[in-house]
Structure 1
Amino acid sequence: MKDRVQTRRGFLRTAGLCAAGAALSGCTPSKRPTSGIAETPRAKPNILWITCEDISPYLGSYGDPHARTPNLDRLADEGTRYTQAFVTAPVCSPVRSCLITGVYATSLGSQHLRSTVPPPASIQPFPKRLRAAGYYCSNNEKEDYNFKDPTIWDESGPNAHWRNRRPGQPFFSVFNFVSTHQGQINGSDEEFFAKYRSKLAPEERHDRETLVLPPYYPDTPMVRNIWTRYYDLITYMDKQVGDLLAQLDTDGLSDNTIVFFYSDHGMGLPRFKRTLYDSGLRVPLIVRFGARHRSLAPSRPGRRIDRLVSSIDLPPTVLTLAGQSVPDHMQGRPFLGPQAAPPRDYIYGASSRVDEAYEMSRCVRDKRYKYIRHFMPHLPYIQPSTYCDQAEITQELRRIAASGRLTGPQKSWWEPTKPVEELYDTQADPHEMNNLIDSPDHRRTRERLRMELRAWMLRTRDVGLLPEAQMHIRAAGSTPYEIARKGGAYPQERILATAERVGIGPQALADLRVGLADDDSAVRYWAAVGLDALGPEAAPALDALENVLADPSPNVRFTAAGLLCRFGRGERALPVLTAGLSDPRETVVLHAARTLELLGDKACPAVESMEQARRRYVKPDGSYTNNDHAMFIAWALTNAIDHCKP
């Protein structure tokens, strides 16, 4: 387990080292331009996406007093910075799934981190449209779309570059910098200095004593050290951006290129990445129009724009800037160019399974207020999660939380449960610490946003209402996107109505017991989840839960079994979970394994079964039978087994 986790982290560190070894050169192309002469003007603009990982808008151009980001600040001075830009999910692959298709991950079924859910044939990744229109499309180099398609790009890899196109061919090129990924902040000070800090001039390095921490973080030397590293990494990444822009200048292409810079989601720290707060969803977005296309710009250079923009708007925007039509399946709207749509009223976000930790939360935000709905409020904000729990910052925060020294907003984040609903005034409360959900003065806002979120889930056919294993079972021979739009295959309103009963209290007990007998497996699943969320108040439904231990849906069986085990009725329930470990479908096994992990001591009688199952997913060399669900299954089972060791 430990070896495999270090391998994953090692990959990210190696990627950072490769960037350092290139003397901050960004990406070294495999080919050079055929000449140094600027290319002739052309109608089609070149489009360059520069992305980085895991940063919030902690840049000088966004007013951060600690940031040292001269290259990005210059880009903002020459272009437009969007102050209300958000992504559709607080983790990587669901966002990238959306970015490559223009469709919400919750519509495609690709909302879970590290899953494999191909889109239907009718939904083609948008670079294919650009290639058909004559564009050279390159990606350097991360994909991570939750599906594989080798036909998206002309080239995708560490040497992918606009310089590899035909002379004069317009290009759409993506460069992704991993130097700011959360995996880079760990390790010793000596390691961090060698890989990153030594590449910064002394005046570019940050002083940990001067940084202002967010109010929900305790002020300790370790916390300050991690924050200092993050700021240093952002400065390092800024140099990579500067180098790439210099390559554009050297090739005489800046005047004919539209440059986008943005992050895939918020910072890779607790209460940032993986959360639906602005700290997890709000990102920097800067767009610079080359001189030949400045008429398409929304404002004069150096201005800021406060309109709401979602990452789902980027694909249709690129298509229209390239002179292409927007396909009907795209769910975003162009925010630039002659076909720019009116400003949005709302942006939406979704949080689902990350690694082995199941979650389902959704949010909607207007320019001022944010509403979050948690459909699994009985689970903590920060669940046990192997990859995150190895990070020094998480270990430090857990240590302080266990000591009882956290207070106020620092403490609430570590509670064992979370509220069903949250509402924040992001203007008066930018850190989203004062939950207004019960405020009489905000009743109308709460109702408006609650209704808007529900309407969005129904309108976009949010298949996250299907538990992951059941989603794949129901979509066999098709895709989640298609079955959600097929008459009778997905009674979404009835499923959502049951999910909305989760967390509202004992008054839902009667309805949830009825839901256990519904003819749709997703209704039965949410009825079981609702009873689980009731905790001790679910006692009157225990006999009904025992009746569904033989349910044809594995997710229903496992949810009921987990609750029965917690009530001390494990004699029949625990074998249901251990049987699930032998299922040939990894999405099924993961749910059983995670349920066992969260049972703690009550799972100990199943240690032998768990160990047998774990060995099926771990090779003799310590690697996993695949890089996704097998790894998550092994993580969950290893943690469950370790907990039971004397």
Structure 2
Amino acid sequence: MLEKSMNLVRRTGLSAAALFLTALSPSGAAERPNILWLSAEDISPNFGCYGDPHAITPQVDALADEGMRFSHAFTSAGVCAPCRSSIITGMYQNAIGTHHMRCNATMPDWLKPFPLYLREAGYYCTNNSKTDYQFRKPSAATIWNESSSKADWKNRPDGSPFFAVYNFNGCHETGIESKEKYENVSAVLKDSERQDADKLTTLPPYYPDTPVVREDWKRNYELITALDHWVGEHIQKLKDSGLYEDTIIMFWSDHGVGLPRAKRWLYDSGTRIPLVVRIPEKFRVGEQGTPGSVNDALINSTDFGPTVMNLAGLPTPAHMHGQAILGEGLPAAREYVYGARDRMDERYDIIRAVRDKRYRYIRNFEATKPYYQYMNTPEKGATMREIRRLQKTGQLPEAAALFTAAHKPAEELYDLQTDPHEIHNLAEDPKFRAIKARMLEALTAWQRKIGDMGLIPESELERLVKTRGSTYEVLSREAEVLEEMTRAAVLASTGPEAFPELIQLVDSSNPTVRYWVSTGIGNFATEAGKAEQQILGKAVEDEVPAVKIAAARALCRSGKPETGLPVLIDELSSDNQWARLEAAIVLDELDETARPALPALQAALKNQPNKYIVRVANKAVNDLLGTQAVVE
């Protein structure tokens, strides 16, 4: 009956709710699964069921024994908010404008978060209680029947199936960083569930092996065990209510462990997550959910919403990038999964990644920036402080020192089979030339397909959205527009040998292309000649703030701060909040050259529209004054 109804939907365009009305028996008693999401923050697959020798996770392990474990599940970013925006919409964050951490995109009216489809179909949908969707409308109150710390599937009307989400925040990076939070969260542990930091054999090689770092690694394990207790409580609640065999359970994390070179990054350490699903026998399709089974399909977190919809009998909307991984009528398995990094807190770093089952390719669009830019939040962590300390004394082990480099390679390629920690970059190895070309082609095709707007400066996004109606509509989906932007961004990190090609793009009607032209000259400003200087002199008067700021940066770096600094100082008080941030970042990176801007930077410590401007200005001021930067 349901399949016939789905065919009817395809032929007639019936709504999701109408689909369910046609699928119900005359009594209205057709059985539909309840679906429970148990989500965690900031954890990698450090569980017994994933083979971790130190994990104490009996509840999740039992769930995997009764259900299925996905071995190749990944998130679309290495940080929570961009990921959660992609999960709730089924679309990549860099396609809809939610790619920057703590942004507030404007969604087009047609883009509906997937729980709305479930509600139309009669599901009672609750969220307890993290949102982090990065858009104003629709609001959480609209998306869910209830979204709060009191939201509970038990509040549903009699007979209604439920989709319920619960989030555990005890594993968040603050649980590792804060001794108080760590002790509070781990208070549920028995003595036998505690870890001995000295005996942990799984410390990644990109961390220095010191007692300080081992303490953080130990805390990660113990917080995961506390999470495991929480999972057990939710399972028991279902059993006590007699609904365990009526409910599909999905357990997952929003990204990898909350430590340096993991959270915020696109390596496996930042994007590979646990995903365990238990499907009661009456709801299984074929071999799906067979107890103790392992599924090695490539999964992206954009797939979570379409999967829930498919399990509930709903078709995946055509606009979604995700695809169902469970239920009837599955599409062909993915060949690749993708990830994007953009502004993380107060710093920009545009990175894109593609992974198949063996290799990961990374494109660093801002390769002239260091791996570890100074950001307030991660700098508070003990492991990051330890890395900084040992970096100053030259005592970092080789693998850890790689990620303290002042610049990144433009391309990275790793063989996960032989190099699971992604330490040995194969991008320049001739033996892997064909593999790199294949991965780059896949990445480029993905960016074109989804309309990747990450190359557009954030200040320009804010400027354009006022006239385009939504952030999604800022970028034309025409292939030539994306190609020109990508070409300019790649040239900008290539070197002074790319100046002739960059100059050819200087009169582009696309402000983003003009931005990358000035950025590219500024990246290698000491090599700029007369032609490049003339371009900067014109660009510094551009009507678009991002172009002016990039040109001013280049002028300051090429020995003309008297021309560039006034522009940057002026943009510190711009009406565009992201232009203020972009100007502050440039002044911070200019170090001593920015000293004449010190009064303006000090003034920027107050009355700002967002905290990130204050953070960057504070760092710049303290560096110029020779004082210790204040970490919030």
Deviation at residue 42 of structure 1 after TM alignment: 4.8
Equivalent residue number for residue 224 of structure 2: 234
Equivalent residue number for residue 268 of structure 1: 258
Determine the C-alpha separation between the residues in 1 that align with 2:198 and 2:529: 52
Q: Does the 8 Å contact 1:509/1:531 carry over to 2?
A: yes
Deviation at residue 167 of structure 1 after TM alignment: 1.6
Give the letter aligned to residue 526 of structure 1.
Answer: W
Q: Does the 8 Å contact 2:175/2:185 carry over to 1?
A: no
Pair 1:332–1:610, CA change in 2 (3 A): same
Query: Percent of aligned pairs with the same residue?
Result: 41
Deviation at residue 482 of structure 1 after TM alignment: 2.2
Deviation at residue 331 of structure 1 after TM alignment: 0.8
Deviation at residue 297 of structure 1 after TM alignment: 5.4
Determine the C-alpha separation between the residues in 1 that align with 2:182 and 2:314: 46
Equivalent residue number for residue 139 of structure 1: 127
Q: After superposition, where does 1:91-102 map in structure 2 within 5 Å?
A: 91-102=79-90
Equivalent residue number for residue 102 of structure 2: 114
Determine the C-alpha separation between the residues in 2 that align with 1:527 and 1:412: 29
Give the letter aligned to residue 99 of structure 1.
Answer: I
Determine the C-alpha separation between the residues in 2 that align with 1:197 and 1:525: 48
Give the letter aligned to residue 635 of structure 1.
Answer: R
Asked if residue 537 in structure 1 is aligned to residue 537 in structure 2, the reply is: no
Determine the C-alpha separation between the residues in 1 that align with 2:593 and 2:446: 40
Pair 1:251–1:299, CA change in 2 (3 A): closer
Equivalent residue number for residue 609 of structure 1: 600
Q: After superposition, where does 1:256-335 map in structure 2 within 5 Å?
A: 256-295=246-285, 298-335=288-325
Q: After superposition, where does 1:520-559 map in structure 2 within 5 Å?
A: 520-538=510-528, 541-559=532-550
| Pick aligned residue for 1:336 from 326, 332, 338 | 326
Q: Does the 8 Å contact 1:83/1:304 carry over to 2?
A: yes
Deviation at residue 192 of structure 1 after TM alignment: 5.5
Deviation at residue 485 of structure 1 after TM alignment: 4.1
Deviation at residue 535 of structure 1 after TM alignment: 4.9
Determine the C-alpha separation between the residues in 2 that align with 1:322 and 1:296: 16
Determine the C-alpha separation between the residues in 2 that align with 1:411 and 1:194: 31
For residues 532-579 of structure 1, give each alpha carbon's deviation from its aligned partner in whole angstroms, at most 9, with x where no partner exists: 333533455234223211111111111221232233311110111111
Q: Does the 8 Å contact 2:372/2:403 carry over to 1?
A: yes
| Pick aligned residue for 2:198 from 205, 209, 214 | 209
Q: Does the 8 Å contact 1:75/1:286 carry over to 2?
A: yes
SS of residue matched to 2:59: helix
Deviation at residue 504 of structure 1 after TM alignment: 2.3
Deviation at residue 299 of structure 1 after TM alignment: 4.7
Give the letter aligned to residue 353 of structure 1.
Answer: R
Deviation at residue 487 of structure 1 after TM alignment: 6.4
Q: Does the 8 Å contact 2:176/2:182 carry over to 1?
A: no
Pair 1:216–1:168, CA change in 2 (3 A): same
Equivalent residue number for residue 427 of structure 1: 417
Determine the C-alpha separation between the residues in 1 that align with 2:91 and 2:183: 41
For residues 13-44 of structure 1, give each alpha carbon's deviation from its aligned partner in whole angstroms, at most 9, with x where no partner exists: xxxxxxxxxxxxxxxxxxxxxxxxxxx98521
| Pick aligned residue for 1:590 from 560, 567, 581 | 581
Equivalent residue number for residue 199 of structure 1: 188
Determine the C-alpha separation between the residues in 2 that align with 1:351 and 1:87: 11
SS of residue matched to 1:510: helix
Q: After superposition, where does 1:481-560 map in structure 2 within 5 Å?
A: 481-485=472-476, 491-538=481-528, 541-560=532-551
Determine the C-alpha separation between the residues in 2 that align with 1:322 and 1:335: 13
Give the letter aligned to residue 547 of structure 1.
Answer: K
Give the letter aligned to residue 616 of structure 2.
Answer: A
Determine the C-alpha separation between the residues in 2 that align with 1:437 and 1:267: 26
Q: Does the 8 Å contact 1:296/1:338 carry over to 2?
A: no
Give the letter aligned to residue 551 of structure 1.
Answer: D
Determine the C-alpha separation between the residues in 2 that align with 1:471 and 1:181: 30
Deviation at residue 197 of structure 1 after TM alignment: 3.6
Q: Does the 8 Å contact 2:461/2:474 carry over to 1?
A: no
Q: Does the 8 Å contact 2:278/2:289 carry over to 1?
A: no
**When the two structures are aligned, how many residues end up with a matched partner?**
593
Gaps in structure 2 of 5+ consecutive residues: 1-27, 627-632
Equivalent residue number for residue 620 of structure 1: none
Equivalent residue number for residue 581 of structure 1: 572
Equivalent residue number for residue 385 of structure 1: 375
Pair 1:408–1:536, CA change in 2 (3 A): farther
Equivalent residue number for residue 619 of structure 2: 639
Pair 1:486–1:274, CA change in 2 (3 A): closer
Determine the C-alpha separation between the residues in 2 that align with 1:59 and 1:424: 24
Give the letter aligned to residue 601 of structure 1.
Answer: E
For residues 46-99 of structure 1, give each alpha carbon's deviation from its aligned partner in whole angstroms, at most 9, with x where no partner exists: 111110000011110000001000000000001100000000011111101100
Q: Does the 8 Å contact 2:552/2:568 carry over to 1?
A: yes
| Pick aligned residue for 1:441 from 413, 431, 436 | 431
Determine the C-alpha separation between the residues in 1 that align with 2:466 and 2:482: 18
Determine the C-alpha separation between the residues in 1 that align with 2:130 and 2:345: 18
Give the letter aligned to residue 553 of structure 2.
Answer: G
Equivalent residue number for residue 166 of structure 2: 175
Equivalent residue number for residue 23 of structure 2: none
Q: Does the 8 Å contact 1:45/1:256 carry over to 2?
A: yes
Determine the C-alpha separation between the residues in 2 that align with 1:296 and 1:116: 42
For residues 386-436 of structure 1, give each alpha carbon's deviation from its aligned partner in whole angstroms, at most 9, with x where no partner exists: 111122221111111111012321111001100000001111111111111
For residues 560-619 of structure 1, give each alpha carbon's deviation from its aligned partner in whole angstroms, at most 9, with x where no partner exists: 2123223331111011111111112212211111211222222221121122232122xx
Q: Does the 8 Å contact 2:175/2:182 carry over to 1?
A: no
Deviation at residue 187 of structure 1 after TM alignment: 3.4
Q: After superposition, where does 1:462-473 map in structure 2 within 5 Å?
A: 462-473=452-463
Give the letter aligned to residue 44 of structure 2.
Answer: S
Q: Give the TM-score normalised by structure 2.
A: 0.91
Asked if residue 400 in structure 1 is aligned to residue 380 in structure 2, the reply is: no
Determine the C-alpha separation between the residues in 2 that align with 1:528 and 1:226: 42
Q: Does the 8 Å contact 1:296/1:336 carry over to 2?
A: no
Give the letter aligned to residue 141 of structure 1.
Answer: S
Give the letter aligned to residue 300 of structure 1.
Answer: T
RMSD: 1.7
Deviation at residue 142 of structure 1 after TM alignment: 0.4
Deviation at residue 519 of structure 1 after TM alignment: 2.2
Pair 1:516–1:54, CA change in 2 (3 A): same
